[in-house]
Amino acid sequence: MLKIPFSKVSCDGNELAYVREVLASGWLTTAGKTQTFEELFRERVGARFAFAVNSCTAGMHLALEALGVGPGDLVLVPTMTFTATAEVIRYLGADPIFLDVEYGSSLVTQDILSEAVRKYPETKVFMPVHFGGQSAPLLSANGKGLLDLCREKAIRVVEDAAHTFPAKCLGRMIGSLGDATCFSFYANKTITTAEGGMLTTDDPAIAERVKIMRLHGIDHDVWDRFTADKPAWEYDVIAPGFKYNMPDVAAAIGLAQLERADIFHRERERCARFYRERLAGLETIDLPLVHGNMEDHAWHLFVIILNERSPVSRHRFIKIMAERGIGTSVHYKPLHRMTYYRERYNLRPEDYPNAERIWKGCVSLPIYPSLSDADLDYICKVIWEVLS
């Protein structure tokens, strides 16, 4: 029997070589490797500024803080996301307003956002989640994308792009569209630094604030104090900042991963195409709803939904898959079902019909570059056997 984990990182490029360079340098935390990683990533997504951080969560916190989000402010966020998207709102004393999503894509649509803005006209920020690697409809050929609506209403946009590198929306790279975009480089993401993230923006004011708040509110790069040729011990603290910097050891891994990002992307797309071809016609599941071109999707996740015709429950399906050596996961239990948010905001499942329908049957299948066609064939055969 094959053993196929849900996720498996590919680190067979220059990762070890670049990490050794950092170890040999005698300086392990934020320095030259991080700066190079920031610059190359910035160029890749077409943004004016990029800041490496120690998680996507940190990036979203910094972005909201830079926009002045605070107590009493309202921030729109989809319910189908990881808790980090909403928790950073609470860090600042603001309140999340949870939105339902489109069935099949788990994305916020123009209609959903329009209704939320009508209901909550005082909204300060919208946080679209590019679920699974697919861009939310920020742009639209008819000029009625999510960004257009937010700009009409003076709502700022902080994108949760934890799943979404590299991906595009109408030909433009995610990372160069909203007021700020935050990426994740966690171990199971499309590229990894083990732990880490990146914040990109074109806004000089956001960039200046993030640069200061990322590392204790200190007024210049701390590593210069220890690596400069001339004494540079003097510094000032101009705000009560955070400890959100990325160390060079992590950035070294990221640089090697970035070199192979296009290869990883092609291989993930290959897996997605295989699934879509081999699982087409299986009436007991719904395949991911894809808007636009397959190649514009980052394919971090491949989520099937066991629908009302499924002969087994999701719990039973996951158990059988594990017994057959196949790892799976669930993305996500929606936030309106989480105890903290449900009780604090008196949330009701019936207010989120699409998310509820997704949640009751969603299962994420393995999708990563090293999956062979034989692995994929085995997975699909088991799925057909269990669910047909």
pLDDT at 20 over 60: yes
Residue 1 has a pLDDT of 78
Report whether 74 contacts 93 (CB < 8 A): no
pLDDT at 180 over 60: yes
* Angle, alpha carbons 160-52-55 (nearest 5°): 50
Number of Cβ within 10 Å of residue 13's Cβ equals 17
Q: Model confidence over 60-106: pLDDT tens digits?
A: 999 999 999 999 999 999 999 999 999 999 999 999 999 999 999 99
Which residue did the predictor score with more confidence, 207 or 31?
207
pLDDT at 222 over 70: no
Residue 221 has a pLDDT of 72
Quote the percentage of the chain above a pLDDT of 90.
93
Of the pLDDT bands very low, low, confident and very high (cuts 50, 70, 90), residue 289 is very high
**Angle separating helix axes 248-259 and 15-25, nearest 10 degrees:** 150
pLDDT at 330 over 60: yes
Of the pLDDT bands very low, low, confident and very high (cuts 50, 70, 90), residue 234 is confident
Report whether 199 contacts 53 (CB < 8 A): yes
Sort strands 362-365 and 302-306 into parallel, antiparallel or unpaired. antiparallel
pLDDT at 224 over 80: no
Q: What is the mean pLDDT of the chain?
A: 96
Residue 336 has a pLDDT of 98
Place of tokens 């971090």: 300
Q: What's the one-letter identity of residue 5?
A: P
Helix (H, G, I), strand (E, B) or coil at 305: strand
Torsion over CA of 32, 35, 40 and 41, rounded to 10 degrees?
140
Query: Which one, of 42, 89, 65, lies nearest residue 214 by Cα?
Result: 65
Average of per-residue pLDDT across 148-173: 98
Q: What is the per-residue DSSP string for 190-239?
A: SS--BS-EEEEES-HHHHHHHHHHTBTTBSS-THHHHH-SS------B-S
Average of per-residue pLDDT across 207-211: 97
Q: Model confidence over 251-265: pLDDT tens digits?
A: 999 999 999 999 999
Does 360 participate in catalysis according to the annotation?
A: no
Residue 227 has a pLDDT of 55
Report whether 13 contacts 256 (CB < 8 A): yes
Q: Model confidence over 297-322: pLDDT tens digits?
A: 999 999 999 999 999 999 999 999 99
Catalytic member of 33, 124, 168, 189: 189
